[in-house]
Amino acid sequence: MRSRERNITEFDLQLDSFMLHCDAKYLSPKILKSFEQTVTLFGNYLKQELKIEDAAKVKSSHIRQYIKYLRNRGKYTVSASEKALEINYPNRREDYQKPMSDVTIANYTRNMKIFFNFLKMEREIVGNSVSTVEKIKLKRKQKQLLSPEEIKLVLRTYNLTKFHEYRTWTQLRLIIDTGFRATDVLRSKMASPKH
């Protein structure tokens, strides 16, 4: 899990317990990494800024302060580990210190809510401090739609005499005609005709 270069706090033990729980649920490595990184960054903030080392002492006001802190500090200005800074060089990124998106902050708060729900379920804490924090309202960006002419151009690129291109063309037509998601179309199976 994480490097143990510092004193182990109650928060560290709570995070380790949470990560073991998530690992036992066979969550994907990407989700595990997201949970660990989010909660580690939050734990670092609690220790450094508020001198809190136990999740039981966290109040909803602390989480609101953290959200404000995230908005003010900018992207890639802190890291869950020093090792990551040596490998990734975040200060070389074009978006270094640019504002964090509301989507990222909403993901952080969602991950923290899952962490605190786990602690409540385990009776490590009495209440979930995140549950009273208002959800961040996300602004949805409207995707630019293809014009009918552009759709026809795309559909004409397929060679319908080749099976794999005909299959893809059929899937694309199904998506366009029904609004299904690509994953739903790929998971669908042909039903046997009933006699």
Q: Is the pTM of this model over 0.75?
A: no
Residue range 113-142, pLDDT digits in tens: 999 999 999 999 998 888 889 888 888 778
b/e map of 57-69 (b: 16 or more CB within 10 Å)?
ebeeebbeebbee
Task: Name the residue type at position 112.
Answer: M
Cα 9 from Cα 16, distance rounded (Å): 11
pLDDT of residue 107: 94
pLDDT of residue 73: 84
pLDDT of residue 60: 95
**Residues in the chain with pLDDT values less than 50:** 1-4
